[in-house]
Amino acid sequence: MEWLDEYEKLVIRMDTPKVVIDNAACPTATLVQVDSARKRGVLLEAVQVLADLDLSVKKAYISSDGRWFMDVFHVTDRHGRKLTDDSVISYIQQSLGTWTKPSQPSALEGLTVLELTGADRTGLISEVFAVLADMDCSVVDARAWSHRGRLACLVYLRDEDADAVRVAHIEARLAPLLRGDSGASGGVVAVPACAVAHADRRLHQLMYAARDQDRAFPTPSVSVESWAERGYSVVTVQCPDRPKLLYDVVCTLTDMDYLVFHGTIDTNCGEARQEFYIRHADGSPISSEAEMQRVSQCLQDAIERRSFEGVRLELSTPDRPGLLSDVTRTFRENGLLVAQAEVSTKGDMASNVFYVTGTTAGQAVHQSAIEAVRERIGNDCLVVEEHRPQLYQKTQPDDRDDRNGGGIGLFHLGNFVKRNLYHLGLIRSW
């Protein structure tokens, strides 16, 4: 009936997210406000869009009331400036202003993903790419993380390089390398590129599945407490701020099947403090001390995976067969361990970023090794940047006011959210 069609249109209009981007409310950041009907995963979707654009979230307020949800993010670009690029602003509005899933990027059509997991060691990445080069596989894109002696890697190959017979041969050659001498679990799984919705999230999932309980060095401060009166579990994260920190935390909570109902995020002098009020998907809070400890450890791992001390090497050069094998072999021959890698090709150009340390994870990189790599690869195509985050430590209580005026925006788009949090008793003052 016609009136039913009109009703369905009304529901769609009511449920469609409303996105407001304001550059006037706050002098130091752009405010992105997302109002929507409550939907599982909506927070992760919003944070993922911002993370993919390399935007920094300086403050954020998350609040839900019944079926409705509001997020307010104070964001800057990678240089700490407000957003002025109209194409970026338009992309945020289009990406967050609809529930319709974006179509698979054309760049990933006709690709197969190899999911590699195994015991990490010096030179493993080099050996993996050497095997693929020897088998004449064309690597279109790749992502790799190593953490606590484990490696997770996604390698995108063209479909013609990854038929069932060839994948079986690849697995037979790579499996012994990934398991290592100890015979630890590891292997290769081939899936269509469309099955991996987001590379970073999939790497988190692969690392989570093989998490290690050994915690022999300083970790981020993560606490999980019960607030039985309100029916919430309260997760508090305090650590040095860095790009994609919020994404890594929200991604982990989502994949562990927790819902975030309220939250506040603040950064001050390079330190980040995040607080989330969560429940299970069935509406119940965390009920046991063991589960609280598991949540704390998993969040610590997720934060550490992209927090390391080393050197960032950015390589931009014409693509050619065996390039990755040659580059990573050069790292290995000069005693460099690849902690993370981001590989992509655009046309006939390869754009590769490697995060390297000494032969032992966290060990300082000698300048002589960097110079040897530059001489071998080419000074003109290699950019070297030292990457030294602070040691993890619990931040001290301090005055959270923004003395530079950044707090002005709290009385604009963030105003409504803070009022909700105050009336719920989730923050002390408004």
302 plus 314 within the same structural domain: no
Q: Using alpha carbons, select from 424, 425, 430, 411 the residue that is nearest to residue 64.
A: 424
Query: Edge-to-edge strand order for the sheet containing 111-119?
Result: 187-192, 111-119, 150-158, 139-147, 337-346, 349-357, 310-318, 382-387
Structural domains of the chain, count: 2
Same domain, yes or no: 176 and 153 = yes
- Mapping DSSP onto H, E and C, the string for 108-177 reads HCCEEEEEEEEECCCCHHHHHHHHHHHCCCCEEEEEEEEECCEEEEEEEEEHHHCCHHHHHHHHHHHHHH
Q: Give CA separation, 300 vs 60, 230, 296, 308, in Å.
A: 20, 26, 6, 13
Q: Does residue 14 lie in a domain region? A: yes
> Does residue 85 lie in a domain region?
yes
The C-alpha atoms of residue 125 and residue 146 are separated, in whole angstroms, by 10
Do 91 and 235 lie in a common domain?
yes
Sequence-ordered list of residues with C-beta below 8 angstroms from that of 144, at least 6 positions apart, any chain: 125, 151, 152, 153, 154, 338, 340, 341
31 DSSP β-pair partners: 22, 74
Would you tell me the crossing angle of helices 199-209 and 289-304 to the nearest 10 degrees? Answer: 130
Predicted local confidence at residue 54, as pLDDT: 93
The answer as to whether 151 is a domain residue is: yes
One domain for residues 158 and 49: no
Q: Given the DSSP bridges, would you call strands 310-318 and 382-387 parallel, antiparallel or unpaired?
A: antiparallel
Averaged pLDDT in 10-residue chunks for the chain of 430 residues: 53 70 94 88 92 95 84 94 94 80 58 92 91 92 91 91 87 88 75 89 90 59 92 95 95 95 93 96 93 95 86 90 91 89 90 85 76 83 69 39 37 45 48
pLDDT of residue 86: 94
Domain match, 193 and 291 both: no
| Together in a domain, 300 and 401 | yes
Per-residue pLDDT at 376:
83
CB 365 within 8 A of CB 385: no
